[in-house]
Structure 1
Amino acid sequence: MKAYKLITTVLLISAGLQTAYTQVRQTPKWLDTAVFYQVYPPSFKDSNGDGIGDLKGMLQKLPYIQSLGVNVVWLNPCFESGFRDGGYDVTNFYQVAPRYGTNDDLKELCRQAHRLGIKVCFDLVAGHTSVDHPWFKSSATDTTGIYRDRYVWTNSKQIKPEKFVNGGYNRNGTYLKNYFAFQPALNYGYAHPNPAHSWEQPPTAAGPVATREELKKIMAYWMEQGADGFRVDMASSLIKNDPDFAETNKLWNGIRNWFSGRYPEGMLIAEWSNPQQAIKAGFMMDFLMHFNTKGYPSLFFDDTAVVLKGKDPFFSKAGKGNVTEFVDSYLHHQQSVGQNGFIAVPTSNHDFQRLRSGHRQDVKQLKVAMAFLLTWQSVPFIYYGDEIGMRFMSSSLPDKEGSVLPDDLNPGYRANRAGSRTPMQWSAAANAGFSAAPAQELYLPVDAAPDRPTVEAQDKDNQSLLNFVRQLIVKRKAEQALSNKGELKILYAKKNEYPLIFSRFDKNNRFLICINPADKPVNVTLPATAQTAVPVMVQDCEVTVTNKQMRVAMQGVSFGIYKLN
């Protein structure tokens, strides 16, 4: 049996109150050094010339993924779907969508990934289905069948509470949506059901219990086919009317105990963006990103040509950012999570703009951002194409499979996620080597810029962003101090000031990391904590150590990684 960490007591801090949280946690040891690579299936590699990426295309590119040094790949949903929300409207949880291939293709992808030392994380849409799912169709017509309570229906079409939809079905009722109207919420119950509302069932009712058991069945099925675990979409949304997440915690802790008992090497990751809450609920990892929690937008979100708007990000040449918003938020969550789980900070993902967006466009800027993301304590998630500096395509793109966010989320602003979902740029060949299909048949248009980055070109350039990212990952994997479990200490982080300086360390080694995204020189003097600072990877940064002082001199748009002795 492989080694695991047994954590019996973890200190949780929530809303300023300190309480003891006692529970045995088993976290697979391999997560200590995990570096993830996210693949958006229709945009990665097309193997059959139909213009849409597929599983055999991913299989062809596994050696490239391995060359990055990552050891986990996360696939966005690849199951049968209505594709009105990019696959997050599932119509069959047990079958791969024909446009991507077959179940056997997915099993083979897992087998070959494992052969290369890469684990595979599936996307699990736990909170809803498509209105085209057979379960929903049955529940919409039959109030006596086994799926009558698989969803949440009122008992009259005249009753339409907030977030309920009257879809014109035979059933005399309206249904609860989970996000878009075509995504009916699966019934996991209400934490505080209103006795006057018969549709608000407790989590212990037969309908919610059956839904929970079906979720476990889906998870078990794919784990047996070769999956290594799941990233759970909208993980906090399952139990309704649960403001303190008490019932949500019971639900996920129960699933975690079952899952880890049956698959002790399996991963369970939340899309919650509230790590202190998600880890308490039983997840092994959660993201700190663009919703629920402050911090991530203040690092990267600009207000020009983006999906989700921000103002004065820290990673901008303008030098008007405030890094303390992120640092304070991260430290708050990390203090709560402790050794009981992990926090992930992604380069970007399919729901918001790429790292290369807004005013952050040149390679020097991107290297500074990557130097931060791949030396910070959080688990790295690299979104496909960010490693070569693919642009967020802010030009006019179609609303592709629900890529435009609902108006109620962004009033008066057309937020189109398609700009982060354009085809991977492999080479100088037609369609950037993504597909042999005619350009007009591609899933989305390829970046047409003559200077678009490609894997082929950057692979040959020792100074490219691609090879820089590879070097950072090699260093992170080689040094325990830089791994996901290495310690973190903030040495310089002040409101509205640059740079950010922090150390990563373990009992054997210490590293100094200096980050200056601003296009202006900065100088900082710190107390000396070492005799020497040996450069490891540096861009326009110099550190001088005397008996009592450590002087950091940085040019504009610079970084420095040093080993302290």
Structure 2
Amino acid sequence: MSKEQPLEKDWWKKSVVYQIYPQSFKDTTGSGKGDLNGIIEKLPYLADLGIDVIWLNPIYQSPLVDNGYDIADYYQINPDYGTMDDFKRLLEEAHRLGIKIIMDLVVNHTSDQHEWFKQSCQSRDNEYADFYIWKDPKEDGSAPTNWGSTFGGPAWEYVESRGQYYLHLFAKEQPDLNWENPNVRQAIYEMMKFWFELGIDGFRMDVISLISKRQDWPDAPEDAVYTKSYYVGASNGPRVHEFLHEMNREVLSKYNIMTVGETANTNSDQAILYTDPAREELNMVFHFDHMHLDYGPFGKFSDIRFKMSDLRDVLTEWQNKLENRGWNSLYWSNHDQPRAVTRFGNDTKYRVESAKMLGTLLHMMKGTPYVYQGEELGMRNVRFTSFDQYRDIETLGVKKEFEEKGLPESYIKESIFLKSRDNARTPMPWNGDEQSGFGFTTGTPWIDFSPDHAEINVESCLADQNSVFYHYKELIRLRKMFPVVVDGKYELINPTDSDVYGYTRTLGKQKLVVICSFAEYKVNYKLPAPLKNQSGKLLLSNYQDTKKELGDLELRPYEAVIYLIDES
């Protein structure tokens, strides 16, 4: 979408993004995998929800070792999902409904089946020899550094034909590109232009904070978490901002599009470097500070529960730090994270209430909200009965690692149930009929259905006016109706409350008061003194009989309320 089109410059600030994991969204062929035509079929559902942008996980040609994040050809659509004509039709139909499409840009690494890598393996002096990161062995023949990879095992793989190791921060089938080589960067920029000229509206940039590596190749400290030990030399590297500014100059600035970078191991100060408009890099980033609140000794795979006070501190820090200096992305879950209602809410007795509360808390903040498919239904983690049901490369690697460490089977099962990426990847349930494949497929699904689908599905949510779906729809409507939701300044109003997270958003003479209980019991909430004398009207609650006037409240389990004070 070129900048000449009559489209507001910062349109993404007012947008709500819906993330689609294509493999699990809707299958129209009976293959058991979702496809592009399935997404086209369900566009009216998304339009009804009110979203503005679809983010598609990778749909490029891939051997699917890491479900598409191992790209073999950036210019081809994976036949599992359809054809280029199908994709063009998806663009056309989405745009007709006022929905934009952003794609996943995976340029830290490629598949080992990519032609560039095949050529690079053959010799040290051909055109593609330096497209990847190759290093000689140490004198004893061992790897150049002690780094581990995200999916387990060392981050270096030896190739006999070159007598060298190549770097892979993820699976060994995902060799890292050498961004120090200007020819690599230009090849990437040309590919990006191809998709923009086709009509896409932006990119989500996979692990973009890892593209620049320290050229002194330091070893990681002995106490580093092995699967993230490469951070010492690959996270927020010395040239990452130079590379992104160059990308902006060469490509991004020429189109009126949105960009969001996935930036693991990036704090709020570093985020400003990526997102300050004056620096001309990215529009926003995905940070992970709130995702790390329940980490344990082995990192992500733990059985620890987050503390609400920690969550409040993290979200408030990011709201305050980026005020007028950057832009926040707002998310609870995605294809790499477990389901939000299990992680941050109550997925049993108060599943619906807590799902609505979490949506309220996030969508009223300053930033661009992201809804992961099924989140608007209140989908929860799936408790598979057998390890054989898991498909995720990370989960299978962790299971093996934990077994080798001799950890109790009960801990392995529970930590995988709580944190496996497969929790987010079970098929989207369009109805509650198992005989019809829950409306997802007429074939055998690539990953097992969640046993919850009979209860939690689109059809039942659409039939229930009090469902999570309609609450999300109303949150999105409020964002479009009130400029204070987009532009209002955030202020925390109860920094020491042990159960309740409250904040205001202020723009001119309008103020939103957002109060969310994380308690599974009733609590008294006293309105802060400065707000007591102001007249506020209820905009939205996740209970049917919340009092209409702003004041002290007796909050029920996971109750969430939004009041509007309007002095204009």
TM-score (norm 2): 0.82
**For the Cα contact (< 8 Å) 1:405–1:416, is it kept in 2?**
no
* Secondary structure in structure 2 of the residue aligned to 1:140: helix
Aligned residue pairs total: 500
Q: 2:25 aligns with which of 24, 27, 44?
A: 44
Q: 1:294-343, CA deviations, whole angstroms, 9 ceiling, x for partnerless residues?
A: x3444xx599xx97436333xxxxxxx333x2333334334443334321
1:559 deviates by: 1.4
Match of 2:383 in 1: 394
Q: Secondary structure at the match of 1:332?
A: helix
2:445 alignment partner, one of 442, 459, 463:
442
Of 335-344 and 280-289, deviating more is 335-344
- What is the rounded CA distance, in whole Å, between the counterparts of 1:327 and 1:28 in structure 2? 31
Does residue 347 of structure 2 align to residue 360 of structure 1?
Answer: yes
Following superposition, the deviation at residue 543 of structure 1 comes to: 7.6
Match of 1:288 in 2: 287
Letter in 2 for 1:328: D
Give secondary structure in 1 for the equivalent of 2:251. helix
Equivalents in 2 of 1:490, 1:310: separation in Å?
29
1:258 match: 250
Matches within 5 A, 1:196-275: 208-241=181-214, 245-263=237-255, 265-273=256-264, 274=266, 275=268
Which of the two has greater helix per residue? 2
**What is residue 198 of structure 1 aligned with on the other side?**
none
C-alpha distance after superposition, 1:439-486 (max 9, x if no partner): xx2111112347431111111211111111111111121111112x22
> Is the Cα–Cα contact under 8 Å of residues 307 and 352 in structure 1 kept in the other structure?
no
**Equivalent residue in structure 2 for 1:458, among 457, 461, 464:** 461
Cα distance in 1, alignment partners of residues 157 and 286 from structure 2: 34
**How far does residue 406 in structure 1 lie from its aligned partner after superposition?**
4.1
Which of 479, 483, 487 is residue 476 of structure 1 equivalent to?
Answer: 479
Residue number in structure 1 paired with 2:40: 59
Q: Please, which moves more after superposition, 100-109 or 402-411?
A: 402-411
- Give the CA deviation at 1:159: 5.0
2:132 aligned residue: 151
Of 154, 165, 172, which aligns to 1:174?
Answer: 165
2:317 maps to amino acid? H
Contact 1:259 1:266 in 2 (8 A): no
Call closer, same or farther: CA 1:436–1:98 in 2, change over 3 Å: same
Contact 1:86/1:403 (8 A) holds in 2: no
Larger displacement relative to structure 2 (474-483 or 502-511): 502-511
Aligned to 1:375: 364
Deviates more, 1:353-362 or 1:375-384: 353-362
CA gap of 1:525–1:156, structure 2 versus 1, over 3 A, is closer
2:28 and 2:37 in contact (8 A); partners too: yes
Secondary structure in 1 matching 2:429: coil
Structure 1 CA distance, aligned partners of 2:194 and 2:549? 57
> Does structure 2 retain, via aligned residues, the 8 Å contact 1:288–1:345?
no
- What is residue 420 of structure 1 aligned with on the other side? 424
RMSD of aligned alpha carbons: 2.7
Alpha-carbon distance, 1:528 to partner: 3.8
Q: Which residue of the partner structure matches residue 220 of structure 2?
A: none
- Counterpart position of 1:15: none
* Alpha-carbon contact 2:260-2:285 (below 8 Å) kept: yes
**8 Å Cα contact 2:514-2:560 kept in structure 1:** yes
Measured after TM superposition, the shift of residue 28 of structure 1 is 3.1
Deviations 1:475-531 (A, max 9, x none): 121111112x22211111216x12111111211421111100202222224114353
CA distance in 1, matches of 2:340, 2:123: 48
AA aligned opposite 1:447: S
- CA gap of 1:64–1:147, structure 2 versus 1, over 3 A, is same
Single out whichever of 517-526 and 172-181 deviates more from structure 2.
Answer: 517-526
| Equivalent AA in structure 2 for residue 185 of structure 1 | D
TM-score, normalisation: structure 1: 0.82
Q: What amino acid maps onto 2:510 in structure 1?
A: N
Q: Is the 8 A contact 1:188 1:239 kept in 2?
A: yes
Task: Give the secondary-structure state (helix, strand or coil) at the position aligned to 2:191.
Answer: helix
**Percentage of pairs with the same residue:** 27
Superposition map of 1:466-545 within 5 A: 466-483=469-486, 485-494=487-496, 497-520=498-521, 521-529=523-531, 530-538=533-541, 539=543, 541-542=546-547
Query: Which shifted more, 398-407 or 267-276?
Result: 398-407
Given that residues 153 and 175 in structure 1 are in contact (C-alpha distance below 8 angstroms), is that contact kept between their aligned partners in structure 2?
yes
Mapped to 2, the partners of 1:283 and 1:532 lie a distance apart of 40
| Residues 319-330 of structure 1 mapped to structure 2, 5 A cutoff | 321-323=307-309, 325-330=310-315
Change (3 A) 1:480 1:93: same
Instruction: Name 1:555's counterpart in structure 2.
Output: 556
Shift of 1:29: 1.9
Q: Distance in 1 between matches of 2:314 and 2:389?
A: 36
Aligned to 1:161: 144
Counterpart in the other structure of 1:316: none
Structure 2 Cα separation of the partners of residues 531 and 401 of structure 1: 52
Aligned pairs (5 A) from 1:57-206: 57-155=38-136, 158-162=141-145, 163=147, 164-189=155-180
Q: Aligned residue for 1:200?
A: none
Any conservation in 2 of the 1:307–1:417 contact (CA below 8 Å)? no
Distance apart, 1:52 and its partner CA:
0.5
Aligned partner of residue 419 in structure 1, secondary structure: helix
CA shift in 2, pair 1:99/1:214, >3 Å: same
> How many angstroms apart in 2 are the aligned matches of 1:82 and 1:167?
21
Secondary structure, counterpart of 1:404 in structure 2 = helix
Listed one character per residue, the Cα deviations across residues 65-109 of structure 1 (whole Å, up to 9, x for unaligned) are: 111111011000110112111111111111110101112211221
Could you tell me whether the CA contact under 8 Å between 2:18 and 2:372 is conserved in 1?
yes
CA separation of 1:178/1:307 partners in 2, compared to 1, >3 Å: closer, same or farther? closer
What amino acid does structure 2 have at the position aligned with 1:287? F
Q: Is the 8 A contact 1:288 1:343 kept in 2?
A: no
* Residue of 294, 304, 307 corresponding to 1:311: 304
Consecutive unaligned residues of structure 2, counting only runs of 5 or more, are 148-154, 215-232, 275-280
Deviates more, 1:461-470 or 1:358-367: 358-367
Q: Aligned partners of 1:56 and 1:184: how far apart in 2?
A: 31
1:226-275 deviation digits (Å, cap 9, x = unpaired): 21110110111111016764411111111122233311x11121000435
